[in-house]
Structure 1
Amino acid sequence: MDEKTEELRDIFLETTGSDTVTERQEAGRGSIKGEGGEVTDERLADLIGTMRERFPFRSSLGTDALVTVLRGFFDERTDADLADELDVEEETVFEARMDLHLVTDADRTPVDDAVRPLVVDGASLDECVEAVDADSEAVRRAFLVTTSEAAAARASHRFRDEFAELLSDEDLSARFASDARRDGLEEATEDLETDVSF
């Protein structure tokens, strides 16, 4: 807990005399899991809908197809496998994963290091392609990876973590790309509001 968080906690404790926060509960939307204990597609679709409200999606896939990508990712299926199932290009599945903040270490390339500072400065994809001395497709992929990581950091990795909690019992930290705080994106996200737990 950093100094500012400690100060806020102390103020809260002094003001309320309690260390418990009770919020008004909204009406329930039903169980996250179906009768068989499985996560429902409706729950995943709701989360995807919330993401769409907060972040622009580049993928042309509809919500049902994005749910398929989500489930396939956590079943450790490849982009190529999912592209075959959905009858789309492999690059379309890659774009969908980036929209869903599902960046893996395998997605990272040395081109990211050249693209990242440009993204932090607000450069567009076209500006990155023009500025970076690399194949335009490699720059495009690096741009998608970097912007996906920045969006995930702005959301405190909420969606990625919630998907992992719902769809996997395993620790997937090794599969996901390194945390944004260690890859230079902290400059782009340092002043953003995040959820704080006491």
Structure 2
Amino acid sequence: MQTNDRVERLKQLYIDLGGEPTSTERQHARRGDFPDEATVDERLGRVVERMRERYGFRTSLDRPALVTVVRGYYAGRSDAEVAAHLGVSPETVARARVNLHLFRPADTEATFDVDALRTLLDGGASVADAAAELGVAPSTAGEYAHVLRVQQDARVSGYRYPEEFEELLEVDTERLGRTYRTDRRTMEEVVD
């Protein structure tokens, strides 16, 4: 029996069972085809929305702007460069980037001992109490406490979201992998 005969018999059987006499068309995408930039942006946007739903972070940046933050990070642009492109402050971009689990070493570089802040917060101290103990402004301690919380979220999720971004953007994961492995090792040493 030829393939066309089998297809026709299956179509007839389906129609006899109450189905429509049409069949689906073959997909147009061939193996090796790459999605266009708009499709990649849409997929990145869906990942961003899932993160917003899961973690409930707030930002003045809309979905396309957050996609720009993701793309800028992986393109090696600084927060200031992305901010200039979006017409917002570098602090707005940095906070959004952190909320998207995209970290830079500078995120935990401070004039005080960030590990001591982590220890105080893990021990149940409020941000204000930890700030007083460390001799820093509560707003400063709050900024770093936020980074520490988000790093912990990223660690618990196994850095799932950055991995999704990397896959969608076809990023050189060798270079970025070194950064994440270093961050993970640091986080594990601090937590353990």
When normalised by structure 1's length, the TM-score is 0.66
Aligned-partner Cα distance in 2 for 1:34–1:63: 23
**Percent identity at matched positions?**
34
CA deviation string 1:108-141 (max 9, x = no partner): 2253212212333455544443443235554233
For residue 184 of structure 1, the aligned residue among 165, 169, 190 is: 190
- 1:38-64 C-alpha deviation (Å, 9 max, x unpaired): 861111111111111111314321111
Deviations 1:49-102 (A, max 9, x none): 111111131432111111000000000000000110111111101100111011
Question: For residues 87 and 77 of structure 1, do their structure 2 counterparts lie closer, same or farther at Cα, with a shift above 3 Å needed?
Answer: same
Q: Give the whole-Å Cα distance in 1 for the aligned partners of 2:164 and 2:84.
A: 27
Q: Is the 8 A contact 1:103 1:148 kept in 2?
A: no
CA contact (8 A) 2:98 2:147 kept: yes
Structure 2 runs not aligned, ≥5 long: 1-28
Q: Do the aligned partners of 1:120 and 1:185 also contact (CA within 8 Å) in 2?
A: no
Larger Rg computed on CA atoms: 2
| Secondary structure at 1:148 match in 2 | helix
What is the CA–CA distance in structure 2 between the aligned matches of 1:123 and 1:56, rounded to whole Å?
Answer: 23
- In the other structure, the counterpart of 1:192 is none
Q: Which amino acid aligns with 1:56?
A: G
Q: Secondary structure at the match of 2:183?
A: coil
Residue 185 of structure 1, CA deviation: 3.4
CA distance 1:136–1:70, shift in 2 (3 Å): same
Structure 2 partner of 1:92? 92
Aligned pairs for 1:119-130 within 5 A: 119-121=121-123, 123-130=125-132
Q: Which has the higher helix share?
A: 2
Matched, 1:175 2:175: no
Tell me which amino acid in the other structure corresponds to 1:140: G
Aligned residues: 155
In structure 1, stretches of 5+ residues that fail to align are 1-30, 187-198
Residue aligned with 2:116, SS: helix
**Quick one: distance in 1 between partners of 2:126 and 2:78?**
28
Matched letter for residue 87 of structure 1: G
Q: State yes or no: 1:162 paired with 2:164.
A: yes
TM-score by length of 2: 0.68
Change (3 A) 1:47 1:125: farther
1:32-47 equivalences in 2 (<5 Å)? 35-36=35-36, 40-47=40-47
Distance 2:163 2:83 in 1: 24
Q: CA RMSD in A?
A: 2.7
Larger RCO (CA under 8 A, 6+ residues apart):
1
Separation in 2 of the partners of 1:50 and 1:142?
A: 24
